[in-house]
Structure 1
C-alpha cells in the first residue's frame, strides 16, 4: 500500500508509535476517512433532524418502511468458534496493566475499550493499539512504579473485541488532508490493519463492539466500512464480526434492522444500559415533566421500560440467531472493605441472575473479582451449552408505549441525588481530563456514560423546574451553589498543593457548560476534548 503524504500527526511523541503509525497503516486509515467521512457527516446531520422531530412530537415508533425486515425469517451469519460462548465478558481500557489483568481474568471475552472507558489522549490512543498487538503476540508485560510485575498466564486468552469511538467523535491528533480524521475509523483502521491477519493465524478474528448507533443507517455505514477494509487487505468478507450496543432509545426501535444491515458481520446485540438511560434523557430532555427520570441510582433494570427494552433485545437476537449480551453492573468490590465487597457481590449476582433467567447469553463485568460471580450464575443456566440462543422468547410483545413508559419508573429526585450527580460529574470529568476514562467513585465504576447521565439529569431538572422530594425546585443557582460546595470540599480534602495540581477548575468549567448551558451539549466529551491533556 502506498504511503500518504497528506496525513499529518500533530500529537506528542509516543513510545512505540513507529510500530503503530507506519506509513502503510496511516495510508489505510486515510483511505477509510476519505471514503466514508462524508457519509458519517450526513448521518450526524440526520441525527439532529430526527431529534428535532422527536422533540416536536414527543413520540417514537417502529419504522413502517422496514416492516418487511422485521417480519422476515432471515438470520445473521453463524458465530465463529470463539464468539459462541460469551457467558462472561470483562470491559476496560487498553492501558498495559488493564490489558494483562483482563486477559488473565478468566473471562471468555475482553472488551478492549477505546470509547467510554478511555480518555482519548494521543498517548492512550497509540499506546492502546500497541498493547493490543503485543497481547495478540503474547509478548506483553508491565512493571508498576512500585516494582510489581504483570505478565500473561500460560492458558488460553479471552477473545478480544475492540470498541472504537462513536461516529460523533473526531481525532484531533491525526489530520487527513488538513482535517481531523473520524475517530472511530482511526481506532478501527489501525487495529484491523495491524492485527486482522495475526488474529486469523491465532484462530480468532477481528471482532468489534459498535457504540452509540442511533439507527440502522449508521449500522449500514459500518457494514460498508467492513466490506471495504476486508477487500483492501485481501481478507474474506464476513471475517469481521460486530456486536452492536443498543444504547440509544432510537436504536431500540431498530434492533432487527441493525442486525439485518450487518447480517454478514453481526454476532449479537448488547444492552448498554447506562448510555441507554443517557439517551432517553437526551432525546426527551425538553418534552415535558412526563419524560423526567428519577435520580440515576434509583433507576433499576426492573423498571417497566427497562424490562421491555431488555426483553425485546433478547427476543430479537434469538430470533435472528445472534447472542444477547447483558449490561454492566456498576458496583465494584473494595478489597480493603469486606462489607462493601459483600454488598457489591450480592448486587452483581442478583443482576446477573435476572439476565440469565431472562435469556441473555452472557454479561459484562468491570473488575476481575466479579468474573467468578458472573460465570457461576451463567454456568448454572447454560451448563455445557455455549449459549441459549435456541431459547425463543415468543412471549415477548413489546410496543412503542412500553419502551417509552418513562412515567412508570419508580423513584424520586432528592437533594442527595442532586448532590451525588454533581459530585460524580466533577470527579469523573477531572479524571478524564487527566487521561483516565474509567474511575472508581463512591464504590461504583464510572465511565463517560454514567457521567453523561449525571450531568444530563441536572440539565433536565433545571430546565423543567423539577421539584425535589422536599418540595424545593432545582434551579441553576442551587446547582452552582452545590458545585461551589463540592469544589471547596475537594480543596480541603486534597490540600492546596494537590488541588492546584488537579484539573478540578477545568472540570468545573466543563460541568457547568454541559449541565447548566442554555443549549444542551450532545456529548460532554466534545467540550472536554478541547481541554484534554495530550
Structure 2
C-alpha cells in the first residue's frame, strides 16, 4: 500500500520496478487523470450512440481554425529522424533483445495489442525494459538453452534500434493495482513505471522517453495525454518536450481529427501511424447499426480499397504539412520455412506493400518479423535518399468525409467466415494462455485481427448477410449455421494441433468467448475487456470495465 494506491498482484521479483517512489508517482498520475479518462470513455459511448442513430463522422466545425492554421510540431530528435523500418512485438526479454539487435531503426515494445495483459507479462515487461535501457538485459531460453544478450560482452558498442513503448489503451483497466479501491487505468501504470525508471537514463544516453499512443478517438484524448506528459516531466524534473509520442490513427473518429491531435501534442509529437487493422475494426464498430456498411471478407479489405487509400493519404498530407513523420502500416507476414514457393509469394506481397507505402509518401513502415526488415529497407532505400520525405508536400490530397467512409466493395463468403472463426478462436486461446502475439497461417496475429474476425461475424449475423459457399450458393448466416461452422473448424483445429495440445489448451473458453461476442445483441466495444476477466488473478473491490 502506498497512500491510496494498493498493489494486489505479486511483488516478489519486481522490487526494482514496484518501488515506493515509483508507485507514488503512478498514484499522482491516477489521482489527477483517471477521472478525465472515465469522462472521455463516457464521451466515446455517447458518440457511438449518435452514430447508431444515424449521425456520420465529420470534421469538427469548432476546430476549423486549427486545421487551417500555419503551425508545425516541435523539431524531431536526432534518433527519430530516420524511422524507415520499425519492428514491433511484446515486452518479453527474448523479443526485446532480438528486436533491438534486429537492424530495424526503431523497436516498438508493446504493452498493448501483442501483449496479453497478465500481471507477469506487464510488470515482467517493465523489468525487462528497465534492463534493456541500461543494455544489461539477458535471457536464457529454458527450452533451447540459448543465451541472449544486448551486450556481447566484448566491450564494443552495438547499434541498437531506438526504443519506443506502447502503453495500453485508455479503456483497459489494471485490476492488480487499485486507487481508492478501484482498478487503475492500465495505460497510466504502463506509462508511469516506464517513464519514472527510464526517462533520465534515456536522456543521459542521448535518446529520450518515446511512446506510441493507441486507440485514440479524439483530440481531447490527445490533450489528456499531453497533460499527462507535462505533469510527468515537471514532477521528475525532466525538460518539457523530452517525451515524444506517435499517435496510431486506428479509429475512424480519429481520422477526422488528425490535425487537432497533432496540435494538442505539438510539443511532444512524433507523428502519426496508420494502424490499418484496428482501423478496419473501428469502421465496423462505428457503423455497427447500419446494414449499408456491411463489409466483404476480411481478406478483401486491403490497402487498395478507396476508404483505406483516402485515410492513409490524409495521414501523409497532414503529417508533412505539420513537419513530422507519417508512418505506414504493419506487414504481418512471417517467413514460411517449409514451402519456398509460398514463401516467395508472401515476400512479394510484403515488397509490393512497402513499395506502395514509400511511393505514396510514408516516412517509414512496420514489420512484425526480423525476416522482413531487409525487404522493407530495400523498398524504402530505393526511394528515400534522405532520412525521411517530410519535405515532400502532398498538397494535392483531398480526402473528404465521403472518401473516408466509402464502403469497401467485395464478396462475402463462407470461406471468409471460416477464416474468421479459425483465426479468432485460435488467437483467443493463445491470449487466454498469456500469449498476445501469435503466428497463424503464416501471419503474425495480434488482438486487432481477432477484433476484426469477431466483429465481422457479428456484423454479418446482425444484418442477415448472405455468404456464398464453394458451390456458388448464397445463404443467410444464422446462429445455427455459425455454431455448426465453429464445431467443424474446432474439429479441424484439434486434428491439426493434436489431441494432447487441444485438450490441455484453452480452446473451450476461447470458443465460448468468440461465440458469445459474435452473437450478442450489441457489439462489444473490445474483446480484450471481456477476455481480461478470464486472465486477471484478482477481483478487486469496485472492479468494473472502464469502457
Task: Please indicate the TM-score interval, normalised by the length of the shorter structure.
Answer: over 0.9
Could you say what the CA RMSD is over the residues aligned between the two structures, in angstroms? 1.2
Please report how far the alpha carbon of residue 13 of structure 1 lies from its aligned counterpart in structure 2 after TM superposition.
4.6
- 2:179 counterpart of 1:176: yes
Indicate if the aligned counterparts of 2:333 and 2:369 stay in contact, CA closer than 8 A: no
Inter-CA distance 533–37: structure 2 relative to 1 (3 Å threshold): closer
Indicate if the aligned counterparts of 1:14 and 1:127 stay in contact, CA closer than 8 A: no
One of 127, 130, 133 as aligned partner of 1:133? 130
Q: Distance in 2 between matches of 1:302 and 1:28?
A: 45
| 3-state SS in 2 of match to 1:267 | strand
1:240 maps to what in 2?
A: 243
- 2:329 counterpart of 1:330: no
| 3-state SS in 2 of match to 1:364 | strand
2:233 maps to what in 1?
A: 230
* Superposed CA offset, 1:47-68 (max 9, x none): 0111111121251111111000
Q: Distance in 2 between matches of 1:376 and 1:490?
A: 37
One of 64, 76, 79 as aligned partner of 1:79? 76
Indicate the larger mover: 483-492 or 309-318.
Answer: 483-492
Q: Distance in 2 between matches of 1:334 and 1:102?
A: 19
- 2:23 counterpart of 1:21: no
Could you list the runs of 5+ residues in structure 2 that have no partner in the other structure? 538-547
1:221 maps to what in 2?
A: 224
* Superposed CA offset, 1:312-360 (max 9, x none): 0000000001100000022221233322321221111100000000000
1:430 maps to what in 2?
A: 429
Superposition pairs of residues 115-264 of structure 1, within 5 angstroms: 115-145=112-142, 146-152=144-150, 154-264=157-267
One of 283, 290, 314 as aligned partner of 1:312? 314
Please report how far the alpha carbon of residue 520 of structure 1 lies from its aligned counterpart in structure 2 after TM superposition.
1.5
Q: Distance in 1 between matches of 2:333 and 2:209?
A: 30
Number of aligned residue pairs: 527
Q: Distance in 2 between matches of 1:486 and 1:107?
A: 37
| 3-state SS in 1 of match to 2:178 | strand
- 2:11 counterpart of 1:9: no
* Superposed CA offset, 1:396-422 (max 9, x none): 01110000111xx23211111100001
2:451 maps to what in 1?
A: 452
| 3-state SS in 2 of match to 1:90 | strand
Indicate the larger mover: 469-478 or 396-405.
Answer: 469-478
Indicate if the aligned counterparts of 2:90 and 2:115 stay in contact, CA closer than 8 A: yes
1:375 maps to what in 2?
A: 377
Please report how far the alpha carbon of residue 131 of structure 1 lies from its aligned counterpart in structure 2 after TM superposition.
0.8
* Superposed CA offset, 1:296-318 (max 9, x none): 11111011111100000000000
* Superposed CA offset, 1:279-302 (max 9, x none): 0001101112x2011111111101
Please report how far the alpha carbon of residue 8 of structure 1 lies from its aligned counterpart in structure 2 after TM superposition.
1.8
- What TM-score comes out, normalization by structure 2 length? 0.95
Indicate if the aligned counterparts of 2:175 and 2:536 stay in contact, CA closer than 8 A: no
- What TM-score comes out, normalization by structure 1 length? 0.97
Could you list the runs of 5+ residues in structure 1 that have no partner in the other structure? none
Runs of 4+ that moved beyond 4 A: none
Q: Distance in 1 between matches of 2:358 and 2:127?
A: 35
| 3-state SS in 1 of match to 2:466 | coil
